[in-house]
Amino acid sequence: MIIFHNLFYGFSVALQPEHILVCFLGVLLGTLIGVLPGIGPLGAIAILLPATFRMSPVSAIIMLAGIYYGAMYGGSITSILVNIPGEAASVVTCLDGHEMAKQGRAGPALGIAAFGSFFAGTLGIVGLMVFAAPLAEFALKFGPPEYFGVIFLGMTLLMYLSRGSLLKGVMMAVFGLIISFVGLDPIEGSPRLTFNLLQLWDGIGIVPLAMGLFGIAEILINIEESAAHEVLKTKIKNIFPNFSDWMQSKGAILRGSILGFFLGILPGGGAIISSFVSYGLEKRISKEPEKFGRGAIEGVAGPESANNSATAGAFVPLFTLGIPSNVVMALLFGALTIHGMRPGPFLMTNHPDLFWGVVSSMYIGNIMLLILNVPLIPLWVQVLKIPYKILFPLILLFCIIGAYSIRSSIFDVLLTIIFGMIGYLFRKFDYEAAPLVLAFVLGPLFESNLRQSLTLSKGSFSIFFTRPISAVSIILAIVLLVIGFMPYFTKAREKFEAK
């Protein structure tokens, strides 16, 4: 019963006019950036983070969360109509969604994506409500070694699951840690890695880093490729899927919703991975796997449901353990700390308005998204036709203003541009920035928990292996790293011997 009482309280927060407005703005902007190829939810949250500084923490998180799950809805529109994912979690939707559109079934594809997302999003929120409280209670037993173990596992999983080379993923995470050490040492207060620049004594901000690596870098890549995006010329009809479509999709939606939620909770998981896993699962259990890639509606329903419920699942570790499970959550972690909140087991008890307000706003946001996505699809198709030469200067300008507005500092603008250049080079040289940002955000927690643990154990690393939670987490992380690195050593040895 307590859950309904809390939910009722949450709705009393979420239904305040200010919160309804920011929720609407969030889901609207989320859909917009999901629709527009070239800027994902990460870049959008980074760009809009400074705009939330004048808001209350509850409003800020409601809006930023709205951008995240809104982008999941919007991304499917671009995938289906243009065959280019609006954001990374909609990559697999291209496979069958665009095929359906080419066969004149763009309407049912868009419809099932929207309805599936709605169902999954709602189910994910129920999961968030049910799992958050027990996990927060469990997290109260955590000491520094447990936190260190879970953070280490989370970073390892993200490196392990990130696309491309594991070695490069690990290097990115280590570099992220190094950047997080810039500034004053948290214990002794002496400056380190600051190049004798006073501006770096406070460390590097999450906004210039994320805005540069994801916002500016993305634009530079798009300018370089100058790819023309052509919207499929098809009449969008029958947005409401027919009985047969529903029968084919119902299992995929349910499986995608449950799978996505639990993959979203896992450190290193999230919307992208869950959509891929859901697609693989649907193809594997289908009686007609050959239909996949040729316009199977289950190939749209499953992944679109999975990526939406994963967004709700990802909030569980952030709100209960204070550990972001993916890089978007890392930005929200940054947003919470900027607003003076400390994510963790006490968040639900100390700031129930924030937790229950955000949860309840997600119900409202999902309904708004259904309304925005089903009848307004023709409007989003028009948005897709805005030329990139108009869009990119505006996005660049928002990045610059966003970076400047935090501390009114030209130095932060320069940092953003430098990180933009670095992010562009990362993309060219096949390095993924996500492990870097997650490690950067977790760096201070990583350092303080490691040093506190070593102080407690008088310098002995055995403390991490005598406590069950930290021992399991660290051993699992080490096993993953060993499995991941094994091919490097065996292949290198074989090549060396062959020479």
Partner 1 sequence: MINSDQLSGFFWLAISIFVCIEASRVGIGDVHSQGPGFLPFLSGVMLGTFSIILVVTSTLRKPAKREVKNLWKGMSWGKVVLVLILLLIYALLLSILGYLIATFGLIIVLFGIVGKTEVWIKVVAGIITVLATYIVFYVWLEVQLPKGILGF
Q: Which residues bind partner 1 (CB under 8 A)?
A: 50-51, 53-54, 167-168, 170-171, 174-175, 177-178, 181, 185, 187-188, 190-193, 216, 219-220, 223-226, 387-390, 392-394, 396-398, 400-401, 404-405, 408, 410, 413-414, 417, 420-421, 424, 428-431, 447, 450-451, 454, 458-461, 488, 491-492, 495-496, 499
Which residue, 243 or 496, has its beta carbon nearer to partner 1?
A: 496
Task: Report yes or no: 173 and 158 within 8 Å, Cβ to Cβ.
Answer: yes
| Least gap, CB of 214 to partner 1 (angstroms) | 16
| Least gap, CB of 112 to partner 1 (angstroms) | 35
Number of other residues whose CB lies within 10 A of the CB of residue 489? 10
| Least gap, CB of 236 to partner 1 (angstroms) | 28
Which residue, 211 or 314, has its beta carbon nearer to partner 1?
A: 211
- Three-state DSSP at 232 gives coil
Which residue, 135 or 481, has its beta carbon nearer to partner 1?
A: 481
Task: Please count the helices (runs of H) and the strands (runs of E) in the chain.
Answer: 24, 2
Which residue, 167 or 247, has its beta carbon nearer to partner 1?
A: 167
d(CA 71, CA 327): 15
d(CA 336, CA 355): 12
49-53-6 Cα angle (round to 5): 90
- 356 residue type, one letter: W
- 68 residue type, one letter: Y
| Least gap, CB of 161 to partner 1 (angstroms) | 18
| Least gap, CB of 282 to partner 1 (angstroms) | 33
d(CA 262, CA 260): 6
| Least gap, CB of 190 to partner 1 (angstroms) | 5
Which residue, 112 or 172, has its beta carbon nearer to partner 1?
A: 172
Residue 244: is it exposed, middle or buried by C-beta count within 10 angstroms (0-12/13-18/19+)? exposed
Task: Report yes or no: 446 and 148 within 8 Å, Cβ to Cβ.
Answer: yes
Which residue, 5 or 428, has its beta carbon nearer to partner 1?
A: 428
Which residue, 103 or 460, has its beta carbon nearer to partner 1?
A: 460
Which residue, 50 or 86, has its beta carbon nearer to partner 1?
A: 50
d(CA 195, CA 198): 9
Return the beta strands (E) in 247-353 as ranges: none
Residues whose CB falls within 8 Å of the CB of residue 105, separated by 6 or more in sequence, listed in order? 238, 295
d(CA 304, CA 300): 6
Which residue, 121 or 176, has its beta carbon nearer to partner 1?
A: 176
Measured in degrees and rounded to the nearest 5, phi and psi for residue 103 equal -90, 10
Measured in degrees and rounded to the nearest 5, phi and psi for residue 444 equal -60, -40
Which residue, 4 or 496, has its beta carbon nearer to partner 1?
A: 496
Nearest to 310 by CA among 297, 326, 298: 326
d(CA 167, CA 439): 15
| Least gap, CB of 461 to partner 1 (angstroms) | 7
| Least gap, CB of 167 to partner 1 (angstroms) | 6
- Three-state DSSP at 326 gives coil
At how many degrees (to 10) do helices 106-139 and 352-373 cross? Answer: 170
Measured in degrees and rounded to the nearest 5, phi and psi for residue 184 equal -80, 140
Which residue, 185 or 202, has its beta carbon nearer to partner 1?
A: 185
| Least gap, CB of 186 to partner 1 (angstroms) | 9
| Least gap, CB of 394 to partner 1 (angstroms) | 6
| Least gap, CB of 22 to partner 1 (angstroms) | 13
In the chain, the largest separation of any two C-alpha atoms, in whole Å, equals 71
As beta bridge partners, residue 191 has 184
